[in-house]
Amino acid sequence: MARVNPDPRRYVLTLSCPDTTGIVARITGFLAGLGGWITEAAYHSDPESGRFFTRQAIRADSLPFGAAELRRRFTAIAAELHADHAMVTDTAERKRVVLLVSKQGHCLYDLLSRWHAGEMAVDIPLVISNHATLAPVAGMFGVPFAHVPVPGDDAGKHAAFDRIAQLTDAEAPDAIVLARFMQVVPPELCAAWDGRLINIHHAFLPSFVGGRPYHQAYARGVKMIGATCHYVTAELDSGPIIAQDVIRVDHTDSVDDMVRRGRDIERAVLAHGLQWHLQDRVLRDGLRTVVFR
């Protein structure tokens, strides 16, 4: 009879490497040899890139040692497989998220509500904004708020983003979320936060890049509008996509209607994409992603 497991703690292993035969057997054999109880396993073999991707979750209580030792042993397996990515995380260690916002609060409300309700098992130590508008929202949820104005001149912007980086890095976040932060992040910060900087764009990328995408969509007469959660790179709105969704519109919808209806989909897409990132379900493959949902 299978043992009842009251402890939900898991160790999550992710790996990407050149594809070849025997990878699954090597990883599962490695885990079985340790006594690891696999509770979730996902694999993807990409014929175009010639790469292999996997995510494994195992019961922490099935191993005689902790995450650090598992990480050490898994590193040796990754080296055998010539992996370019190999990671072990412990679900008992709460991830940390810093939120960047401007004046529009729908995504901030949604993320903080999910967090407050226990739907997102993370710590949110700080909200940063270039406006003071949403300070009461952060205060309502008991989250510290930092107001860092971003001037229009280059010198002022540089100083402001230096301050934003200082505040953010002090929290050692696992994700920095642009929850409708209406500023272009400098290339050097995109590089420093690569793989952790996540944006919600209010359009179905790669269509309607940049500002005022609903206005662009209205002018083009589209029949669907969408939202895209993606990793941020130095090229505007072109980073690897994590999550997307759409809703239908028609000729009777004004730009204001599209903006209002689009907010619902922006909230959901950002929440899903962020959750998948925090649960180590997203592996990058160049400009694409493998998402083990």
Q: Which domains does the chain have, with CATH numbers?
A: 10-90 (3.30.70.260), 95-291 (3.40.50.170)
Q: pTM for this one?
A: 0.94
Long-range CB contacts (< 8 A, 24+ apart) of 62-67? 62/35, 62/36, 62/37, 63/11, 63/34, 63/35, 63/36, 64/34, 64/35, 66/90, 67/11, 67/93
DSSP string across 196-222: TEEEEESS-TTSS-SS-HHHHHHHHT-
Q: Which bin fits 17, alpha (ψ -120 to 50), beta or left (φ > 0)?
A: beta
At 274 the pLDDT is: 98
CA distances from 213 to 80, 229, 234 (A): 46, 15, 19
45 and 17 Cβ atoms separated by less than 8 Å: no
Predicted local distance difference test score (pLDDT) of residue 1: 38
Which residues neighbour 195 within 8 Å (Cβ) at sequence distance 6 or greater? 231, 284
Spans of the chain below 70 pLDDT: 1-6
Give the model's pLDDT for residue 211: 84
Residue 123 confidence (pLDDT): 98
Nearest one of 70, 63, 97, 66 to 86, comparing CA atoms: 70
Residue burial 133-160, b: 16+ Cβ < 10 Å; e: rest: ebeebbeebebebbebebeeeeeebeeb
Instruction: Identify the CA nearest to 39 among candidates 31, 29, 47.
Output: 31
pLDDT for the residue 5: 54
Fill in the DSSP letter of residue 171.
Answer: T
- What residue ranges in the chain does DSSP mark as E strands? 10-18, 38-46, 51-59, 85-90, 95-101, 122-129, 145-147, 175-178, 197-201, 224-231, 241-248, 282-285, 288-291
Active site residues: 237
One-character DSSP codes across 258-282: HHHHHHHHHHHHHHHHHHHHHTT-E
